[in-house]
Amino acid sequence: MTNREISAVFDQVADLLEFQNANPFRVRAYRNGARKLKDLPQPLSQLVADGADLTDIDGIGKDLAEKIATLVRTGSLPMLAELEQQVPASVLPMLRVPGLGPKKAAALYNELSIASLDMLRAACEEGKVRELKGFGKKTEETILAGIALAERANDRIYWAAADEVVQALLDHLRPLGQVKQLEAAGSYRRGKETVGDIDLLADSTDVGAVMDRLGEFPGVAEVIARGDTKMSVRLDSQLQVDLRVVPSESFGAALQYFTGSKEHNVEVRGLAKQQGLRVNEWGVFRLTEEGEQGERVAGATEEEVYQSLGLPLFPPELREARGEFELASEGGMPDLIELADLRGDLHMHTNATDGKATLREMVEAARQRGREYIAITDHSKRVSMAGGLDSGRLRAQWEEIDRLRPEYDDIVILKGIECDILESGEMDLDDDVLAEADWVVASLHYGQKQPREKIMQRLLFAVQHPSVSIIAHPTGRLINRREPYDLDVDQLIEVAAQHNKLLELNANPARLDLDDSHCAIAKRLGVPIVISSDAHHTEGMDVLQYGVKQARRAGLTAADVANTRAWRDLKPLLAKQAADLPD
């Protein structure tokens, strides 16, 4: 099992314990453990295999260490199975409804016998939920709105989580000598922010050997179906994996076909028909005068499939029928941004607020990753739950940065702040304080249910503020957990363009905000995007890859992303040109 899968098990245990009103300290132990394990850089499977002492991991005691070892060795946890027997399985999706949580779900179950999302929706629509103590009409409306999110969360997982599964599957299958080529396809390959299932393609003439090997994958819970060329399995996580085994001459055609999207493939087939050709998963074929499938003209590689139609090789992330064919007719595909293009990271937190590492540790971690510049952007005082900084503590941190800077000649450390935009519409810190910052990230954490007019008033005030450089996670969404707040993103981008301000693509896989469609609008209007990690610990800096994947889906090149620039070229984009910053 991967670290994320073990973390998810602990989260589920915590949910079920809380649902049963178990000891809060016990619940907290599992929640803290889940949080620690999810971002642990070392694979737990390797630590267990090496006989490492898992209690050395911060927040992991003897009991949790034993359960980790059990999960690694067996792929299951008897305690979780016991809890699931005590709570109906249909209740579990209710725990994912925003605004509900285990305690309220338990109240609904115990007092109204609600045991599924369908029953919950009906109870909300009939006005029964608002009658319970501690709920009310507003809570009922929030729950009703969140049911659709919970349903989607059951069906799709973050791309980042899917990537861990895909890499494990590829590592398991590649050593097999009978496999000549092996690729993942589908929405995973296109880099969609969530993935519903995994599609694998193998080039082999020994179909049975490849399918046997997939069946031996440690995470397989059951074989759903096995045919002549296709095998479907369900993993312990309930994720479905579909494997197709094809001959070499069809591998490229199959990869193109099963990568999709459906809309992209419709366009491809239409263009093929106009040229007297037929495209399917087995190849590209010339049509006879009778309209029947004739000789094969391509199929071994994707490049020759597209080339046979007079098309360029489309990057998988652009295959959504959202203008890629027009781009092709105008002269080819853009050179999309790569992870290696990023030179800096302009949104991160230290243990001065809710981060887990010191200022120096974050600087060192950034240097190890080859960053040329970073911005330290701890929270402002409004975010009290994170220990946000008032002006005194912020200036003290900036003094610490001043003392640290002379020690490093290979990285520029910007004195920054993630400053909240208050519900009243003002900035959380005084203008004289913000004027001293090198980099001000404006964000909105509270009052997210305000009407659109008020939300836009707050955001546009920040965009026009002379000290603000960028708006962070502009829509506030959390994928599968929280919808964006009510705002006009197009207007926000337009005003950012007018005031030469930047917008963030937050690379946290739960955010990916701005999304791909809005990043494409920003590109069109000339608003530079900054791909930021929003790291709260050193390993958190590695999420930038997910932001790059999203940027590629938007068609962004390195030129469209501000933090691909060398420091001397980025410096003019800062709202304030500080005299103490290097040239």
Q: Where are the domains of the chain?
A: 3-155, 157-246, 259-333, 339-573
Concatenated DSSP letters for 187-219?
A: HHHTT-SEESSEEEEEE-S-HHHHHHHHHT-TT
- 151: burial class by Cβ within 10 Å (0-12, 13-18, 19+)? middle
H or E segment at 277? Answer: strand 277-280
> Class of 3-155 per CATH?
mainly alpha
- 298 has which bridge partners? 284
Q: State pTM to two decimals.
A: 0.82
Alpha-carbon distance of 348 to 396, in angstroms, equals: 17
Phi, psi of 114 (to 5 degrees): -85, 120
Coil, strand or helix: which one is 556?
Answer: coil
Instruction: Supply 519's token pair.
Output: 């990043």
SS3 assignment, position 293? strand
Query: For 267, what's the count of Cα atoms within 13 Å in the CB-facing half-sphere?
Result: 17
CB neighbours of 552 closer than 8 A, spacing ≥ 6? 191, 315, 317, 318, 336, 337
Tokens 């005590």, located at residue: 86
Is there a contact between 493 and 503 (Cβ–Cβ < 8 Å)? Answer: yes
pLDDT for position 256: 98
* Helix, strand, coil shares, percent, the chain, to 5: 50, 15, 35
DSSP state for residue 478 in the 8-state scheme: B
Strands 470-471 and 439-443: parallel
Q: Provide DSSP, 318-357.
A: G-SSSSHHHHHHTT----B--GGG--EE--B--TTTT-SS
Residue 39 CB partners (closer than 8 Å, separation 6+): 3, 537, 539, 540
Angle at 376 between CA 550 and CA 344, to 5 degrees: 45
Class of domain 259-333: alpha beta
Q: Which residues 6+ apart lie within 8 Å of 513 measured at CB?
A: 473, 474, 475, 476, 477, 484, 504, 505, 506
Query: 44 near 37, Cβ under 8 Å?
Result: yes
pLDDT value at position 373? 98
Say what the pLDDT of residue 480 is: 83
Q: Terminus-to-terminus CA distance in the chain, angstroms?
A: 48
How is residue 515 annotated by DSSP?
Answer: -
For residues 352 and 137, give the distance between their C-alpha atoms in angstroms, rounded to a whole number: 39
- Is 157-246 CATH 3.40.30.10? no
Q: What is the mean pLDDT of each run of 10 residues along the chain (583 residues)?
A: 84 87 89 81 85 89 93 89 82 79 86 89 91 88 82 80 95 96 98 95 97 94 92 90 97 97 95 96 93 93 97 96 91 92 98 95 97 98 94 97 96 97 96 96 95 96 96 94 90 96 97 96 96 95 97 97 96 78 79
Assess contact for 277 and 285: CB atoms under 8 A.
yes
8 A C-beta contact, residue 217 and residue 2: no
- Are 29 and 58 a contacting pair, CB within 8 Å? no
Task: With H, G, I as helix, E, B as strand and everything else as coil, classify residue 184.
Answer: strand
Distances (CA, A) of 100 to 147, 409, 479, 510: 10, 50, 17, 19
CATH of domain 339-573: 3.20.20.140
Q: Show the tokens assigned to 279.
A: 């495209």
Maximum separation of any 2 CA atoms in the chain, in Å = 82
Element (DSSP H or E) covering residue 413: strand 412-420
Rounded to whole angstroms, how far apart are CA atoms 460 and 484? 17
Give whole-number Cα distances, 276 to 249, 264, 273, 286, 293, in Å.
Answer: 21, 19, 5, 6, 10
Q: What are the backbone dihedrals phi and psi of residue 253, each rounded to the nearest 5 degrees, phi first?
A: -65, -40
Does an H or E element contain 62, and which?
helix 62-74
CA separation for the pair 427, 419 (Å, rounded): 7
Q: What angle do CA 528, 413, 393 make, to 5 degrees?
A: 105
- Find, among 430, 374, 435, 366, the residue nearest to 577 by Cα: 435
Backbone angles phi, psi at 194, to 5 degrees: -130, 155
